[in-house]
């Protein structure tokens, strides 16, 4: 039996950048009958205006209402894009965990209940792999997710993936695509990492220069759209090619690096959290400490998508798009140096 193309799509997390843009893309797709976006707050007005025939329902996925929407709208494809592995600002942790874990459980329960649901696309995070001195340099999808390595939001993502696997066991007829996304950057993206690089003075872990791998928001969107419209079951790492080290990224952004001993970072994190600037959680510190790179062979070969932006270009696009002016003008200093060299 050939896979039936999706006709009624439900997207969660449409208040976020990725979710709202996916809603707009799907809303302008004439092949789809109904496109319903769900979130606790509406998407940005300019995106809602461009959203075509997409509808927005203000609902909490933890609410039983979600099951009603799924059955009454005859939803056959559910895109779960509301998970936050990296919430941007300081939010109440308990609240985020509620949405991440309990919300996912509720949504999956509703999917399991509805016989019409044929496909589930889940946005997970590469943070599930954790980051540490004992981790391999590059993670592929078969890496075992140790229960101990991640903490905080990463742990939420691990638990969420566990529930998704549970659904796959109970409803083998549902096509499940799970993307483990690297840190998404782009002109409109607001995550902990983008806020971090917007700080004039960037705290880092003394004596460590971690490897960072990113993903441009347009590539993230394209991957989610392909997963929604076509059948690509499986778990895929979604990340850009190439690596920037933290120090390199800071210099490209023209920030001032402030290396602090590892033990001092939690208290700095608390100050930044308290000042409502950036949420600096434990798994964020371990990312800055050791870094994380994922293998994208499966994304390119099996899923069939090659990200158009590499990490460096994606990061530069984020810098220019956000209008982040360098605090330290490395270009100018470098220009002076090369001028001296020419003489």
Partner 1 sequence: MSSGSSAQVIRLHTGGAPGGDPAREADAGDADRDASVVELPTAPASESAADGADDPLGRLLTFLARRLTGDYAVDEFGFDPELTDTLILPPLKLLYDKWFRVAAVGGENLPVDGGALLVGNHSGVLPIDSIMTALAVRERHPQRRHLRMLGADLVFKAPVLGTLARKTGQTLACNPDAERLLRAGELVGVWPEGFKGVGKPFSARYKLQRFGRGGFASAAMRAGVPIIPVAVVGAEEIYPKIGDIKPLARLLGLPYFPVTPFFPLLGPLGAVPLPTKWTIEFGEPIPTDGYGPEAVDDPMSVFNLNDQVRESIQQMLYRRLARRRNIFSG
Residues in contact with partner 1 by CB under 8 A are 133-138, 140, 143, 205-209, 211, 213, 242-245, 247-252, 262, 290-291, 293, 295, 330-331, 333-335, 337-338, 340-343
Q: How far is the CB of 150 from partner 1 (least distance, A)?
A: 18
**44 vs 222: CA distance, rounded Å:** 20
Q: How far is the CB of 338 from partner 1 (least distance, A)?
A: 5
Nearer to partner 1, 197 or 305 (CB): 197
**How many Cα atoms sit within 13 Å of 312 on the Cβ side?**
8
Q: How far is the CB of 263 from partner 1 (least distance, A)?
A: 11
**How many Cα atoms sit within 13 Å of 286 on the Cβ side?**
19
Nearer to partner 1, 1 or 340 (CB): 340
Nearer to partner 1, 143 or 151 (CB): 143
Nearer to partner 1, 17 or 209 (CB): 209
Q: How far is the CB of 214 from partner 1 (least distance, A)?
A: 13
**Among 85, 168, 152, 150, which Cα is nearest to 124's?**
85
Partner residues linked to 39 by β-bridges: 58
**44 vs 188: CA distance, rounded Å:** 11
Quick one: CA dihedral 311, 312, 317, 320, positive or negative?
A: positive
Q: How far is the CB of 312 from partner 1 (least distance, A)?
A: 8
Tokens, residue 31: 């092949």
Nearer to partner 1, 55 or 140 (CB): 140
DSSP designation for 56: E
Q: Which residues of 1-30 are buried (b: 16+ CB within 10 A; e: fewer)?
A: eeeeebebbbbbbbbbbbbbbbbbbbbebe
Q: How far is the CB of 222 from partner 1 (least distance, A)?
A: 22
Q: How many CB atoms lie within 10 A of CB 167?
A: 21
Q: How far is the CB of 231 from partner 1 (least distance, A)?
A: 29
Q: How far is the CB of 30 from partner 1 (least distance, A)?
A: 41
Nearer to partner 1, 36 or 265 (CB): 265
Nearer to partner 1, 230 or 295 (CB): 295
DSSP string, 61-105: TTSTHHHHHHHHTT--EEEE----SS-SS---HHHHHIIIIIIHH
Q: For residue 273, what are the contacts with CB-CB under 8 A and spacing of at least 6?
A: 90, 279, 280
Element (H, E) at 216: strand 214-216
Q: For residue 300, what are the contacts with CB-CB under 8 A and spacing of at least 6?
A: 306
Q: How far is the CB of 334 from partner 1 (least distance, A)?
A: 4
Nearer to partner 1, 102 or 337 (CB): 337
Nearer to partner 1, 207 or 274 (CB): 207
């Amino acid at each position: 039996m050939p896979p039936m193309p999706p006709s009624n799509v439900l997207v969660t997390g449409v208040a976020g950048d990725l979710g709202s843009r996916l809603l707009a893309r799907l809303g302008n797709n004439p092949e789809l009958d109904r496109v319903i976006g769900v979130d606790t707050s509406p998407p940005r007005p300019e995106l809602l205006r461009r959203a075509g025939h997409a509808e927005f329902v203000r609902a909490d996925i933890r609410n039983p209402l979600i099951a009603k929407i799924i059955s009454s709208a005859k939803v056959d494809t559910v895109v779960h894009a509301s998970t936050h592995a990296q919430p941007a600002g300081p939010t109440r942790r308990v609240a985020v965990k509620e949405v991440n874990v309990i919300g996912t459980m509720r949504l999956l329960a509703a999917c399991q209940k509805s016989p019409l649901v044929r496909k589930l696309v889940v946005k997970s995070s590469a943070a599930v792999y954790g980051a540490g001195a004992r981790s391999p340099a590059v993670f592929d999808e078969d890496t075992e997710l140790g229960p101990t390595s991640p903490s905080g939001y990463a742990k939420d993502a691990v638990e969420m993936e566990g529930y998704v696997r549970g659904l796959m066991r109970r409803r083998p007829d549902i096509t499940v695509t799970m993307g483990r996304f690297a840190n998404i950057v782009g002109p409109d993206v607001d995550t902990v990492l983008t806020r971090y690089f917007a700080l004039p003075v960037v705290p880092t872990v003394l004596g460590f220069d971690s490897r960072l791998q990113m993903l441009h928001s347009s590539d993230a969107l394209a991957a989610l759209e392909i997963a929604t419209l076509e059948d690509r079951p499986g778990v895929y790492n979604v990340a850009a090619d190439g690596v920037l080290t933290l120090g390199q990224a800071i210099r490209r952004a023209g920030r001032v690096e402030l290396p602090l001993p590892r033990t001092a970072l939690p208290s700095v994190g608390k100050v930044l959290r308290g000042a409502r600037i950036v949420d600096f959680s434990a798994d964020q510190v371990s990312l800055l400490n050791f870094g994380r790179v994922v293998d994208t062979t499966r994304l390119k070969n099996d899923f069939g998508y090659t990200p158009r932006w590499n990490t460096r270009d994606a990061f530069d696009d984020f810098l220019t798009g956000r209008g982040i002016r360098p605090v330290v003008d490395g270009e100018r200093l470098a220009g002076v140096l090369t001028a001296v060299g020419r003489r």
